[in-house]
Amino acid sequence: MADNRGVVYTGSGGVEVKDIKFPDLILENGPGVPEGNAGRKCEHGVILKIITTNICGSDQHMVRGRTTAPSGLVLGHEITGEVIEAGRDVEFISKGDFVSVPFNVACGRCKMCKRQDTHICTHVNPQQPGGAYGYVDMGGWVGGQSEYVMIPYADFQLLKFPDKDQAMDKILDLTMLSDIFPTGYHGAVSAGVTTGSTVYVAGAGPVGLAAAHSAQLLGAAVVIVGDLKPERLKQAESFGCETINLKKHDNVGEQIEQILGEPVVDSAIDAVGFEAYGHGTDHKEAPATVLNTMMDVVEAGGKMGIPGLYVVEDPGASDKDAQQGSLKVNFGVGWSKAQHFVTGQTPVMKYHRQLMNAILNGKANIAKAVNATVISLDEAPQGYDDFDSGVSKKFVIDPHGML
């Protein structure tokens, strides 16, 4: 079989493209693989030749040293590929199929999967509910920022594209189905966005932009995006969002009032997570800033979708409480306003087929919204550096030059 190369985490602040093992239908022991998963046979899986694989903000948390990710971990949970080998137990996916891979590793058999909560599958990770590719504490499944990767439970998980030529024509949109488009959409749905809604989106990175575009698809009347980076705010404005420059303004309610005539919105979406910074002139880390701001500006009885990542261990946090995932959240405000919170990773399979149809029929233009930018596998380390600097781009890795 052919060789394989992948983007490997080398320690705080570092990634390199290295030779890695060609995948087999088994999860072998390696960096981040818990004892209960080592040697796990996957005849229900497939081997993919990667068509596209994306750099995600969640990857950046690990690369910055803000998690307990082990050195040697092959990164990448946003995967689109071509099936080149199918396991003995695969019935409905065939060699040659072009497929999108949900970032959630899910068995399809457990109680959580049967109720569509594939983000907290109880069979794929001995350490805790939920699995993911190339991610810390998520079962040790090898990441897909590589040339080839193994995907388990193929019949259940994979979303097959109906036509290969059509898929390649729309590939920069379809590559977003593995994570950020369903994640942004889940944030908007969880926040109760509907026709005529007013929505505040915290963060104009790729997930925030995906959430803003999703809110528009759901019929929101006004979508307001807040961020510290002018370039990212300009990208949000490019598809019709109102914006708030949080570097200049620390009172989000006042800025919302200038836009809407009142200092509240119907709902809000947290697309930032635990590495949040304080608003205004003091840009020190303040990990509860987004949550507290949303409780302030969402109306009584309103909803908040929180797809932004929060962790139980943050070794790079500025205080001991935050290092253990304990944040100074003004929960009394949310309680007194009878607000609703929806947290956790996104159950991608709940949304990806509908969103694929929206893309293929020209109803969603997610690649344009997030400024999809193609790079080679060898350019991935530079892509990580550029993304970390705050550029308004969603980097799409094309390891085989198929685009």
DSSP 172-201: HHHGGGGTHHHHHHHHHHHTT--TT-EEEE
- Write down the domain spans for the chain: 4-179+347-397, 180-343
pLDDT digits (tens, 9 = 90+) for 139-172: 999 999 999 999 999 999 999 999 999 999 999 9
**pTM value?**
0.96
Residue-level pLDDT at 90: 98
Asked if 301 contacts 334 with a C-beta cutoff of 8 angstroms, the reply is no
Residue 266: CA atoms inside 13 Å, Cβ hemisphere, count? 18
Its CATH architecture, for the domain 4-179+347-397, is Alpha-Beta Complex (3.90)
C-alpha 336/C-alpha 302 separation (Å) is 12
Q: Return the CATH number of the domain spanning residue range 180-343.
A: 3.40.50.720
Listed as ranges, residues in the chain with pLDDT below 50 are 1
Which residue is associated with the tokens 């139980």?
312
pLDDT digits (tens, 9 = 90+) for 313-349: 889 888 888 898 899 999 999 999 999 999 999 999 9
C-alpha 184/C-alpha 345 separation (Å) is 11
Tokens for 303?
């909803």
Residue-level pLDDT at 232: 97
Asked if 304 contacts 333 with a C-beta cutoff of 8 angstroms, the reply is no
Tokens for 195?
């026709």
Distance from the first to the final alpha carbon of the chain: 23
What pairs with residue 9 in β-bridges? 15
Q: Which long-range contacts (CB under 8 A, 24 or more apart) does 32-40 make?
A: 32/69, 32/70, 32/73, 32/136, 32/137, 32/140, 33/139, 33/140, 34/125, 34/126, 34/127, 34/139, 34/140, 35/126, 36/126, 36/127, 37/124, 37/125, 37/126, 37/139, 37/140, 38/140
